[in-house]
Chain A
Amino acid sequence: METSVVGKGLPKFDAYTKAKGTIAYADDFSLPGMLYAKVLRSKYPAAMIISINTARAKSLPGVHAVMTGKDVPHNNLRAKFGQSTDIGPNFEGLYRVLAEEKVRFLGEAIALVAADSEKIAEEALALIDVIYEQLPGVFDPIEALKQDAYLVGDNDTNLVSQFKIRQGDVETAFKSADVIVENTYSVPFKDHAFLEPESGVAWVDENGIITIRVCTQVIEHFRTVAEVLGIPHNHVRVIGTWVGGGFGGKEDITVESFLALLTWKTKRPVKLTYTREESFLAHSKRHPFVMKYKTGATKDGLLVALETELIADSGAYTYLSPWVLLYATVNAAGPYNIPNVKVDTVAVLTNNPFSSAYRGFGAVQPNFAYESQMDELARILDLDPLTIRLKNCLQQGDTLTTGADFGGSVAVREVAEKAWQALGPKRADPGKHIKLGRGLAVGMMSYGRLTFLHDTSRSYIKLELDGSVLMRSGIPDLGAGQAQALVQIAAEELGVPLEKIKIFTSDTSLTPLAGTSTATRQLYMSGNATLKAAREVKERLINKASVMLKADKTDLKFENEKIIRISEPDKYLALSTVIGQCSTDGDELYSEAQFNAPFTEVPVSDVITGQTFADFTFGAYAVEVAIDEETGEVNVERAVTCYDVGKAINPLNVEGQLEGGGVDSIGYALTENFVVEQGYLKSHSLAEYLLPTALDVPDIETILVESGAGIGPYGAKGIGEPACNAMAPAIINAIRDAVGVRITSLPATPEKILFAMLSRIK
């Protein structure tokens, strides 16, 4: 299908105000009479709160409210974490607004203060007397699973959830394997470190509605906030701001409930913005995993069996752990055809920071493990990294380990070949201490939510009498061009220039709910909803124009704000003329359309079978690293990525996702180590927690494959999260290539590499 706006790397409309510095992020907004909030956080990772005395804090001049768990109408909720579908207790968890009795992690919120200034609020925090009794806690998920382990919460087990996959018979298959590779891999906590710390302002509007203007990926948390307050859902309104980065870290509730409680109590506007240090303490992390992998192959390099055990550290609360674990389970075998597979996964509570969503959501952890395994197998069998992958990768028509069919396109072969070949001929090692190495990795990840979540999205398009277009969508824009994509789709369908379209986003009371900006679902879900809405209004215009032009409906096209007769291009009507006629005749000039993802049933057993996702995105990374043998320092010299994106609605934004996702995973591979010791954070700042800087990373060379076979609009697939796959294992494999050591725990710090090199010599 030929398109004129879709498929163009046009600058996104929000880039202008962002470049001018005039866009109002959450903290850039204030109201008259506004109070400032601060949160008192636990000093211990595991403790019993014996008492909280707020009397001194309350009597401090300038303090308007001090609240503890007792003041929260519904402090303990069985939460569905932003879900609108009821999917049963296995996917719910406790959402506790303020700690009561048992404290579960360091930095858990205990009390709230609202005061005339931040300074007074801070002083008030110091005047709240909390008496704790420290408890032993448990900090290792394997320990936490033991019979007599310390119990993190109020249940009689620390187990959060477990899943299995059973395909074929691994035991027999391993007996027939010529080679078996066995390794245990581990990955640490990872912090999102979005540049914009959590922030929001809340107020009670003139109709008594609790209104919260906040940076969030999920405006649907308005329902949870209403339940916390015990008021009807429609009495809470969340206005989502342009978000200064989310990456999953603004998927769970951050400041919303705190703000709602304080504004409800004081009837004054309240602002709460976290400091960077508090942000590290307060929001979720990517799950650390311990991953045992046993992979067997024939001497020709054909995979015969995979057995794996994944243990995820959920930290102190459930949050999205069951879902992340399910993603990890389904992705554990990677994009390979393995006849015999046994996967066992478990997520466990500890007194560590809580883990939840992080871009890549359970797909990236096993990706590091299975791609390291493939590399080891290739080395033992003396195959090159591409060959072993091509021998085993999924092809069109293959099934997933759960038995589900892949629809769409399975382009593993193509992306692996393209990325690897783009590296070109090998270079000689540049100097004595510098060794070059190359690595390849592929990856798979779903886009769109788990199909049993019965996901839906809505979008609204309205034609103005002057021919301009107004759109409304609840879509939170995190900077990836989420809103721009919808505008480009409407422009494409209606033949209207981008400048003539205005979109209003992210308001639970005024825009149709589009669902969360998570799970790489917005282009797919809201893109399809927008396409549907646009085609509905288009249909009405065509009907009208065909009468006005006395032309067959199929003989009309939309172009340059005109409806034109294809057979006689000099016969046309201005779009505004047709709109005017529709208006005169009383035809609807708007459409609100809903798109429903394919629905499946909630899994009844922990053995996962059948369809869990609607479609997958496949991609590859090929890298070249240089390692200083004396210092162990790794420099990623080149990085080429190739992904099948289905259709690039906006290639500029797609490339941006690949570049950003790739660099995020360079951090994962080499520098980002969120250290937690016995529940205490050792990373408090961006000087201790090292994000890649411009100097640490190469240009990311991107190759887009457009199979057109995705289930998004125009055949698009999702790219935001899958973009984090493959880079980390490609780097680790390149390190193996350069200096002969296999790093099995991330990040691959210089010390780790040097140590591995030394122990190899011994």
Chain B
Amino acid sequence: MEKRLIKVTINGKLRELFVKPNDLLLNVLRNDLNLMGTKYGCGIGECGACTVLLDGQTALACLILAVTVDGQEITTIEGMGDPAQLHPLQESFIEHGAVQCGFCTPGMLLAGEALLKENPNPNEEEIREYLRGNLCRCTGYAAIVKAIKSEAKCQSADPGTLSE
């Protein structure tokens, strides 16, 4: 199959990639770009472990053909925060014990970040609703919900921590 050139901004860097028309974004991220933080949990859109941000919105990398993201902006877990410093939501997850095995964590964090952009002050119900597509088998979600809620509070209390 012939490869096609696509241009995508991944974690803030413009990349030119040759991809086959049937290459899944998940495989391109993991195998071609070595961005291993994006996980395979089911491959058919049912677990959320492969969640990335596509132009700021959550998207499931296992369901997206890489060719279709030409010209778009992708954030993976490796692009959250910067190398030297954790993103405040990452800090909050760590502090609240929201990370157990960690396999759902990248997806959960990105979903949490997208939620807080859309709705800076979500209530518990809204957080749970938003995370519906991200399964976690370890935490029972309680700590994850608390971590997101507490970060929302921090952000609304201190506008200085908003990065954009």
Task: Report A's interface with B, CB cutoff 8 A.
Answer: 9, 11-12, 14-16, 18-25, 27-28, 192-197, 242-245, 247, 273, 275-276, 478-481, 652-653, 655-656, 659-664, 685-687, 691, 693-695, 697, 699-700
Indicate which residue in A15, A196, A659 contacts B41 across the interface (CB closer than 8 Å).
Answer: A196
A196/B101 contact (C-beta < 8 A), A19-B86, A695-B132 known: yes
Contact A15/B102 with A653-B97, A685-B46 known, Cβ cut-off 8 Å = yes
In contact, A193 and B137 (Cβ under 8 angstroms):
yes
B124 within 8 A of A: yes
Query: CB-CB < 8 A to A662: which residues of B?
Result: 140
16 CB < 8 A contacts A-B? A9-B97, A14-B102, A18-B99, A19-B105, A20-B86, A22-B37, A195-B104, A196-B39, A480-B100, A655-B97, A660-B139, A686-B46, A694-B131, A695-B129, A695-B131, A699-B145
In the complex, the answer to whether B86 meets A21 with C-beta atoms within 8 Å is no
- Tell me whether A479 and B135 are in contact in the complex, defined as CB-CB below 8 angstroms, given that A28-B36, A697-B140 are known contacts: no
Binary CB contact string for chain B from 91 to 127 against chain A (1 if under 8 A, 0 otherwise) = 0011111011111111001000000000000001001
CB-CB under 8 A from A193, the residues of chain B are 135, 137
Q: Are B138 and A275 touching (Cβ within 8 A)? A: no
Most buried by A among B38, B94, B95, B133: B94
Assess the A27–B100 pair: CB atoms within 8 A.
Answer: no
A23, B86: Cβ atoms closer than 8 Å: no
What is the number of residues of chain B that contact chain A, defined by CB distance less than 8 Å?
54
Given A27-B40, A686-B42, answer yes or no on A695-B128 (Cβ-Cβ < 8 Å).
yes
Q: Is B14 an interface residue (CB 8 A)?
A: no
Q: Are B97 and A243 in contact (CB under 8 A)?
A: no
Assuming A691-B135, A691-B137, A693-B131, is B109 touching A19 (CB within 8 A)? yes
Residues on B with beta carbons closer than 8 Å to the beta carbon of A16: 86, 94
CB-defined contacts of B99 to chain A, threshold 8 Å: 12, 14-15, 18-19, 479
Of all chain A residues, which has the CB nearest B37? Answer: A21
- Show the binding face of B for A, using Cβ within 8 Å: 30, 36-44, 46-47, 49, 76-78, 80-81, 86, 90, 93-97, 99-106, 109, 124, 127-129, 131-146
Q: Which residues of A contact B93 (CB under 8 A)?
A: 15, 19
Q: Are A694 and B40 in contact (CB under 8 A)?
A: no
Q: Looking at the complex, which one of A12, A19, A24, A273 makes contact with B90 (CB distance below 8 Å)?
A: A19
Chain B residues, Cβ within 8 Å of A192: 137
Q: Contacts A21-B78, A479-B102, A686-B42 given: A656-B141 contact, CB under 8 Å?
A: no
Instruction: Determine which of A195, A685, A686, A691 lies in contact with B101 in the assembled complex, contact meaning CB atoms within 8 Å.
Output: A195
Task: Name the residue on B nearest A199 (C-beta).
Answer: B40
Determine if A685 and B132 form an interchain contact, defined as CB atoms under 8 angstroms apart. no
User: Quick check: A242 and B129 within 8 Å, CB to CB?
Assistant: no
Known: A195-B41, A664-B137, A699-B142. Is A694-B101 also a contact (CB below 8 A)? Answer: no
B-side interface mostly: loop
If A19-B86, A19-B94, A196-B41 touch, does A478 touch B101 (CB 8 Å cutoff)? yes
- Give the shortest distance, in Å, between B125 (CB) and chain A (any CB): 8
Interchain residue pairs A-B with the least CB separation, the first 4? A21-B37, A479-B101, A18-B102, A21-B77
In the assembled complex, the CB of B56 is this many whole angstroms from the nearest CB of chain A, namely 18
**Among B90, B100, B106, which residue has its beta carbon within 8 angstroms of that of A656?**
B100
| Cβ contact of B138, chosen from A19, A197, A276, A656, cutoff 8 A | A656
Q: Which residues of B contact A15 (CB under 8 A)?
A: 93-94, 97, 99, 102
Q: Which residues of A contact B41 (CB under 8 A)?
A: 195-197, 276
B110 to chain A, nearest CB (A): 9
In the complex, chain B residues whose CB is within 8 Å of the CB of A687 = 44, 46
CB distance from A357 to the nearest CB of B (A): 15
Residue pair B139, A659 in contact (C-beta under 8 Å): yes
Write the nearest CB–CB distance from B84 to chain A, whole angstroms: 11
Min Cβ gap B112→A in Å is 11
> Cβ of B39: which chain A residues have Cβ within 8 Å of it?
25, 195-196, 244
Q: Is the CB of A245 within 8 A of B103?
A: yes
Would you call B140 and A663 a contact (CB within 8 A)?
yes
Q: B103: nearest residue on chain A (CB-CB)? A: A244
- In the assembled complex, how far is the CB of residue A242 from the closest CB belonging to chain B, in whole angstroms? 7
| A-chain residues with CB within 8 Å of residue B94 when the two chains form the complex | 11, 15-16, 19
Q: Which residues of A contact B145 (CB under 8 A)?
A: 694, 699
Query: In the assembly, what is the distance between CA of A739 and CA of B24, in Å?
Result: 48
Partner of B132, one of A273, A693, A700: A693
- B89 to chain A minimum Cβ distance, whole angstroms, is 9
What is the minimal beta-carbon distance from A668 to any residue of chain B, in angstroms? 13
The answer to whether B47 and A195 touch across the interface, beta carbons within 8 angstroms, is yes
Residue of A nearest to B144 (CB): A694
